Structure 1
Amino acid sequence: MTLFSGRAEANQVRLAQTGWRLLLRRNQSYLTAVGTLVVIALFGAAIVHLTAEVRYDDVVSALADTSWRSVATAIFFTGLSFLTLTFYDLGALDYIRRKLPYAQVALTAACAYAVGNTAGFGALSGGAIRYRSYSRLGLEPDDIARVVAFVTLAFGLGLVAVTCLSLLAVAEYVAPLTRLDAFWLRTIAAVVLAGMLAIMVAARSSHEISIGRITLRLPASRTTSRQFLITTLDLAASATVLYVLLPTGTIGWPAFLAIYCVAVGLGVLSHVPAGLGVFETVIVATLGHAADVDAILGALVLYRVIYHLLPLLIAIVVIIGIEVRQFTGHPAASSLRRAGGRMTPLLLATLALVLALMLVLSSVTPTPDENLLLLSNYVSLPIVEGAHFLASLLGLALVIVARGLALRLDGAWWASLAIALAALLLSLAKAVALGEAGMLAFFIVALLASRRLFVRPASLFGQALTPPWLTALGVICLGALVVLLFVYRNVEYSHELWWQFEISAEAPRGLRALLGVTIGASAVAIWSLMRPAATAIAPASKEDMQRAIAILETQDMSDANLVRMGDKSIMFSPDGRAFIMYGRWGRSWVALFDPVGPQEAWPDLIWQFIEMARSNGCRAVFYQVSPRGLAYYADAGLRAFRLGELAEVDLRQFEMKGGKWATLRRQVSRGQRDGLEFSVVEPTDVPAILPELAAISDAWLAHHNAREKGFSLGAFDPHYLETQPVAVLKCEGRIVAFANILLTDVREEGSVDLMRFSPEAPKGSMDFLFAQLMEYLKAQGYRRFNLGMAPLSGMSSHSTAPVWDRAGRTFFEHGERFYNFKGLRAFKSKFHPHWQPRYLAASGGLNPVLALMDATFLIGGGIKGVIKK
């Protein structure tokens, strides 16, 4: 009894642990957001403590005292750093053996780093820039994923190596920050470097090393050395940007490089956007004893402006310039325009975030005395107070509409334009802030120049903000609080401060602005977290079915005939020329295949489907999509993950002659000797043979211990079978096998869906059926035959392949006990098809895994259907 109770308790503990793991995994994005805010709060408190003796006016004076020569030098090294950054992408493309023109690669890389350095999180990451740009330039999703992985790994390893090398020389400067003795810092650095050197040596003789059960595929030592050199030059140049802005003689350059690398590394590890606050804390903590803290803070502010904001503005100018030049018909702009057009929304969205931060921070910092004096002569106090408060709320509104800009919403464009115009006027009315007004004017001009890119007529407020955007709201509020505490640390707090309204009462004005922003951000966060419940979706009506069938008959996509099953919902494009068939499982709206209809109607329909899914609190998923639509899914913010390969036979060249067709010829000859007879039954004659087909189908299901599937596969439904021809095989006058044929009126492509055969059918009957069917379709004038998809086929095993591909490849190689992956591909390979990749398009993170699970359950009809084949 005791043993039994002990086992029961152990099972309960395991179930509880599993429940906690599932809970943590399900809420990982929100926990990451909370952790990020906690980190920035801790570092914010540290920076306030480290600057206890510093006054805001001293920082402003230090900024003003910076020489133009230092600023010009910093700008030069910023340009050098970004030039070096372009070679990360060139190295990655060379590693995957793909070549693109340098101008396009440089533009993409520069924009990716301009966004990544400034925003530094999720929806506005450099990876999103690369995905949108490179997909337009012809790279496949797995190639883009390998580029992103290579770039990330190259920078990370280079940063570690440079930091360790620097620590060997200047560990005593970093020791006070880490509270470790300089000896131990050098020891750790030496061990890390020795390990990296051992890996490089191993890469010279073999591209693989094994650590236990883990096998790592390494690049050649030449590639590794080249990337290390690039990272060293990049870090040296970017460190020099800040170094030349610091007071002369603060610290030696080698020691500063080590400190800079540590600060950058901690900023990256913190997951705080742009390392905001974390980077500054490390620099102040290590250099505060060697120079005035106010001068260091002034240098840090200039560094952020020159190295983060200036490249973003230049990138926008270049991209907008390319967009404008295309109207002049200048041929030199055409190739770059393809790379730049889809990056503009992300660049403008990032700038909107920067402007939002600027508006909020300006509301908690004092106005120069001369500006206040000027305002008091021309503007009444209520207008100044109102402008100050409203400008901070407009900053909050810019964060919200920035997401819409990234998604190319027309409503977001109009809202951004209105907010920017209002904020420009308010910035003049509240503080005669010419710099602030100039930035807003630049934003307005950029919006006007790129108007044609924002054409998606989706609701701006019809969906919740995602965790990265909620994190941005929290970072802005915490940043404003830290700045407020720093600026007004000498002002004694009292409740009366809230009710002081004077032209010189700066602290009360900042308190009220911060309160308004915090309340507004909290309201937005609560509204976003209260997601709508997933609603049921109804199957298509008869009228919708008739409209969809009329569309598919004019297309060359034979698989689209699965809409005739009637088990899927249908969504039509705004112009009614295209449709998407879809189903729902869990929190996934799963669209089957690309949209059916003219390709020019796809973008709006894809976007319409995504918005409708999100408005119902679900994720949008596109299952088994082709390379033709990848650019459209990338524009909509989705990523593509390879599912397998589709086999297509060119019927114009299909002729069973020559050595490669010997095996298939033998199967056909064998079928003829066994008495197999092939024929095609027209739809009008199918009802007469339905009883025989039903008996074969039941016997096939029983023999394979299987059940009917759905969604991406047809089921045995008399109404469905009567809509298209059926290919049958007879032996001694009885039907022993059949397959329903999927065709459209354009006679471009043919395919099959249900393939059933009797257990008594001669061996090789399906080979015989397919060969005879291809001969039949070729004679009817069809150009190609669609053999369907081989799941997990063609997954990359390259060293820089994403985890998705490596896991799929492993399952393809060793998952025969679950599904006959290799056997299915081998069967299709008999017909020597052309293999084309097929993808799952979904947003990143855990979404593709959850989406694939939901799609699997949707096809199998639930967990039982999946388990029972």
Structure 2
Amino acid sequence: MAPGKREVLKNWLRHLPALVGLVLLVGAIYVVQREFRHLSLKDIGEALRAIPAGALVFSFVWTIVSYFILTFYDRLGTIYAGHKVAYGRVAFASFCAYALSHNLGFAAVSGAAVRYRLYAHWGLTPLQIGKTVAFCSLTFTLGGLVLGGAILFLEPRAIPFFGQHLPVMALYGVGALLWAVVLAYVTLARALGHIRLFGHIINLPGWRMAIVQVLLATVDVATTATIFFALLPSAPGLTWLIFLGVYVASYTAGLAANLPGGIGVFDTAMLFGLSPYMGAPAIIGAILVFRLYYYVIPLFLAGSLFAGNEILLRGGGLLRHVGKLAPFQAIGRWSEPDFAVTAATGAVGVCGALMLCLGVLAPQTDFSWLDPDYAALANQAGQFVPSLIGAGLVLMAIGLSHRVNLAWVLTILLLIAGAAFAATQTNRLWVVGILVLTTLLLAPFRACFYRHAHMLTGPLQPGSALSLIVLVVCLLALAIARSQTHGLQNNAFWMVIISRQEPASVRFAVAIAVLLGLTALWLLVRPGRVRYLPWDSNARELLRRLGARPDLAATIGADGLIMGETEQAGIPFRRCGRVLLGLGDPAGDDSDRVSAVWRLCDLARQEGLDPAVWRAGPELLKIYGDLGLAALPLGEDGLPLPESAGDTPCVGQYLVCVAERDLNLLLPVLPKLARAQHSIERASA
């Protein structure tokens, strides 16, 4: 394959997870509006009240059991890594990591960042932590394979959609393939003890531990499904095994969507799979309680425990911050960025879904208590404007997950606007409360959203100008179309599109305007492209003015120089396979060094590479840790120190990288870099 075609294919593959997530989310929205358009808040409320107290208690207890089982993933993982950790510490790390990863989705199914922060403090080396993370991820996968294969053999028709449209023999074949993968894993652990994958040798656990992995993961998935099953009313024909098939398929779809908590996709798949057995209100009621038990409560509990642990580790650091800054600023600067971004993304996504469905949940409005002018404006807007605000919030949640600063600003504005429109609904102050609370929770974390939007990176480009024009035109078109939809009881834009009461021209115009408007908004808000200086005489002179030695980077073979946001600091880099390797900490003004590190990571993501830094100093290790990079201590020769049973030593230089994925790739490169540095140092001496 030609290099150009390989690059195009690489770019498509890099965007494939996001494309799959978008397709699944659009499909979920379509299924909901087609099959469940007559849902009302009253019906859902009655279904929630109908759940027996015993079922609520039973599910809550099984939630505790489920998280208890998950602690043994980490327990076995640390044993496999060669550094056994006390069970209490393992349980704490496991709970915090999984509470985070469950809400983030497949992209962080292992909770790697949390594990690195905690296990590093307890003496595990980065390589040992990487082994633990990989072990936990593999264990989770094994459970899904075992149960998936069992369901495909015993109840193949329970799989939503595919069970009704694929031949039974094809489903049997898929089930046999899933079991074959598990059997091959146990067999290789017994016969070889290691495998070679993509040029790397991976040591497998003993065959006894491999069997324990399979059993443990199978029990874990079955236990989690039981939490949900207990919340459903009894229904003819719905056995636990059939439900397990629906649950595993729905959970897999949620992971594949790569959305926070599989929001929307998991829920719609459950609705679709269980709809032959019971009404939608009962299913939604069970989904709400399940998400509360398994996602929301553990997330906030883990966040509180993690914050308390950080306070104990940092001593009076938080109090000093509060003494110098306003309380909200202090919280924003001190708090753990991963939890802040996760909580913000999830909360804003929920608010967006709430505003999209506000017309279904509360179609009746009463503006008599408002100022007459505002009442007239709100009455004209109906549910059309709130639904557009909801779509904007869902899009902003994606921007927040990419840590875009403009997304943070627009999210605050949309939440305030959404609260203002929600206030026009009588007896809907709870919606206003949720939106205001989300605004207050998001406001202190401005520092966590550091990436510039595409529109704000450099002078206004023709593409950005065109996107702005398209956005304005679409908003004007929607304003005109809104005047044609006042006859609908619920004139949310998506209801207009599917309504048969409106002319086809109006429906088509609204659909195109919303689609183009959201696309234009995303093109403006998406992270801007990071530009770098090619490694030439100008880059070398600039690096020299920043106080660094350009001869080292030149000898090692730098590919370019990336500058901080204010261009007062810079870091040379070179590409090493799938790694973008920074050559030392950024040189220059302290106020701009952190942004240079961020931009290095942004450039790596932009090119589909992993970021890493060789010979990083201890001053910026916290920043590297926040970006998900592990620090491996280096000796004076610039090479990683050998693994030891004791705690990680404190040294003057580190290799920071995604250890579980890139360490084996970088190890052959580092001696060449070290020899180049030594030759320069000898020449200087």
TM-score normalised to structure 2 length: 0.68
> Is 2:377 the counterpart of 1:382?
yes
Look up the match of 1:521.
518
Match of residue 663 from structure 1: none
> Does the CA-based 8 Å contact 2:344-2:400 persist in structure 1?
yes
Secondary structure of the structure 2 residue equivalent to 1:357: helix
The alpha carbon displacement at 1:349 in A equals 2.9
The match for 2:221 is 235
Q: Distance in 2 between matches of 1:367 and 1:252?
A: 35
Cα distance in structure 2, aligned partners of 1:825 and 1:546: 20
Which stretch shifts more, 214-223 or 526-535?
Answer: 526-535
Which letter does structure 2 place at the counterpart of 1:634? Y
CA contact (8 A) 1:593 1:624 kept: yes
Q: Do the aligned partners of 2:385 and 2:492 also contact (CA within 8 Å) in 1?
A: no
Which one-letter code corresponds to 2:62 in the other structure? F
| Cα distance in structure 1, aligned partners of 2:454 and 2:311 | 30
Aligned twin of 2:344:
349
Counterpart Cα distance in 2 of 1:132 and 1:351: 22
User: Does the CA contact (< 8 Å) of 1:114 and 1:311 recur in 2?
Assistant: yes
What does 1:823-862 correspond to in 2, within 5 Å?
A: none
Task: Tell me the equivalent position of 1:73.
Answer: 58
1:507 is aligned to 491
Mapped partners of 1:615, 1:170: distance in 2? 42
1:645 positional shift: 7.6
For residue 320 of structure 1, report the CA deviation from its aligned partner: 5.3
Residue 300 (structure 1) aligned with residue 287 (structure 2):
yes
Counterpart CA distance in 2 for 1:456 and 1:211 is 36
1:147: which partner in 2?
Answer: 132
Report how far residue 159 of structure 1 moved: 1.1
The secondary structure found in structure 1 opposite 2:584 is strand
Change (3 A) 1:326 1:461: farther
Per-residue CA shift, 1:305-359, capped at 9, x if unaligned? 443334334344445566788999599xxxxx99973433233333344334334
CA distance in structure 1 between the aligned counterparts of 2:492 and 2:567, rounded to whole angstroms:
55
**Corresponding residue for residue 362 of structure 1:** 357
**Which among 299, 312, 326 is matched to residue 312 of structure 1?**
299
Contact 1:387 1:430 in 2 (8 A): no
Query: In the alignment, what sits opposite 2:11?
Result: 26
Asked if residue 440 in structure 1 is aligned to residue 435 in structure 2, the reply is yes
User: Gaps spanning 5+ residues in structure 2: where?
Assistant: 319-331, 458-479, 498-509, 640-650, 679-685
Matching residue of 2:234:
248
CA–CA distance in structure 1, aligned partners of residues 231 and 380 of structure 2? 36
Structure 1 residue aligned with 2:504: none
1:24-423 correspondence to structure 2 within 5 Å: 24-42=9-27, 44-46=29-31, 58-59=43-44, 61-99=46-84, 105-120=90-105, 122=107, 126-130=111-115, 141-171=126-156, 173-174=158-159, 177-179=162-164, 189=175, 192-193=178-179, 196-197=182-183, 199-201=185-187, 203-204=189-190, 206-208=192-194, 217-250=203-236, 251-269=238-256, 271=258, 274-276=261-263, 278-280=265-267, 282-319=269-306, 341-367=336-362, 369=364, 372-373=365-366, 375-378=367-370, 380-386=375-381, 391-392=386-387, 394-395=389-390, 398=393, 402=397, 419-423=414-418
**Compared CA separation, residues 120 and 146, structure 1 to 2 (3 A):** same
Taking a change above 3 Å as real, the CA distance of residues 99 and 415 of structure 1, as seen in their structure-2 partners, is farther
What do the CA deviations read for 1:6-50 (whole angstroms, capped 9, x no partner)? xxxxxxxx65xx654431112323344334333443455455555
Please tell me whether the aligned partners of residues 363 and 490 of structure 2 are also in contact (alpha carbons under 8 angstroms): no
Which residue in the other structure is 1:594 paired with? 585
What CA deviation, in whole Å up to 9, does each residue of 1:80-133 have, x standing for no partner?
Answer: 323333332333222212355656654554344334333325489844554566
* Offset, 1:157: 1.1
TM-score, normalization by structure 1: 0.56
Counterpart contact for 1:364–1:507, Cα < 8 Å: yes
- Shift in Å, 1:440: 3.2
> 1:290 aligns to what SS in structure 2?
coil
SS state at 1:594 partner = coil
Cα distance in structure 1, aligned partners of 2:408 and 2:198: 54
Structure 1 residues 197, 326: CA separation in 2 closer, same or farther (over 3 Å shift)? closer
Q: Which amino acid aligns with 1:505?
A: Q
Q: Select which of 628, 634, 639 maps to 2:624.
A: 634
Q: 1:201–1:221: 8 Å Cα contact kept in structure 2?
A: yes
Which deviates more, 337-346 or 432-441? 337-346
Mapping 1:694-773, distance limit 5 Å = none
1:517 Cα deviation from its structure 2 partner: 5.8
Give the letter aligned to residue 10 of structure 2: R
Q: Is the 8 A contact 1:572 1:605 kept in 2?
A: yes
Does residue 429 in structure 1 map to residue 413 in structure 2?
no
* Alpha-carbon distance between aligned partners in 1 of 2:103 and 2:19, rounded to the nearest angstrom: 20
State the superposition RMSD in angstroms. 5.7
Q: Deviations over 1:781-834 (max 9, x none)?
A: xxx999x99xxxx999xxxx855445567xx5xxxxxx9x99x79999x9xxxx
The secondary structure found in structure 1 opposite 2:585 is: strand
For the residues of structure 2 that align with 1:288 and 1:615, how far apart are their CA atoms?
Answer: 41
Moved more, 106-115 or 186-195: 186-195
Amino acid at match of 2:67: F
2-side partners of 1:562 and 1:211: how far apart?
34
Q: Which letter maps to 1:253? A: W
**Paired letter, 2:294:** Y
Query: How far 1:56 moved relative to its partner?
Result: 7.8
- Does 2:597 match 1:606? yes
Aligned to 2:506: none
Cα pair distance change 1:424/1:181, threshold 3 Å = same
Task: Give 1:395 shift.
Answer: 4.3
Question: Contact 1:345 / 1:407 at 8 angstroms: preserved in 2?
Answer: no
- Output the CA distance in 2 between the equivalents of 1:430 and 1:441: 15
Q: Secondary structure at the match of 2:360?
A: coil
Q: Aligned partner of 1:580: which letter?
A: G
Larger radius of gyration: 1
Q: 1:384 to 1:201 in 2, by over 3 A?
A: same
Alpha carbons 1:119, 1:274 under 8 Å: kept? yes
Measure the CA separation in 2 of the matches of 1:785 and 1:325.
Answer: 25
1:479 matched to which residue of 2?
none
Name stretches of at least 5 consecutive residues in structure 1 with no aligned partner.
Answer: 1-13, 332-336, 465-494, 553-558, 650-783, 813-818, 831-869
Question: Alpha-carbon deviation of 1:155?
Answer: 0.8
Give 1:284 shift.
4.2
* Letter in structure 2 aligned against 1:259: V
SS of structure 2 residue aligned to 1:624: strand
The alpha carbon displacement at 1:160 in A equals 0.9
The change in CA–CA distance for 1:646 and 1:456 in structure 2 (over 3 A counts) is farther
- Whether the 8 Å CA contact 2:194–2:204 is kept in 1: the answer is yes
Q: Which amino acid aligns with 2:341?
A: L
Mapped to 2, the partners of 1:591 and 1:433 lie a distance apart of 52
Cα shift readout 1:517-569 (whole Å, capped 9, x = no counterpart) = 645421123336796694756856999677644xx7xxxxxx78748999986
| Contact 1:119–1:273, Cα closer than 8 Å, also in 2 | yes
- Paired with 1:183 and 1:128, the residues of 2 have a C-alpha distance of 42
Alignment pair present for 1:582 and 2:572: yes
Distance 1:406 1:201, change over 3 A: closer
Q: Is the 8 A contact 1:280 1:300 kept in 2?
A: yes
What displacement does 1:239 show?
0.7
Q: Is the 8 A contact 1:89 1:109 kept in 2?
A: yes
Q: Cα offset for 1:593?
A: 0.9
- CA contact under 8 A between 1:135 and 1:634: conserved in structure 2? no
Task: Determine the C-alpha separation between the residues in 2 that align with 1:600 and 1:139.
Answer: 32
- Contact 1:316 1:446 (8 Å CA) reproduced: no
Whole-angstrom distance in 2 between the partners of 1:55 and 1:404: 31
How many angstroms apart in 2 are the aligned matches of 1:149 and 1:101?
A: 20
Higher strand share: 1
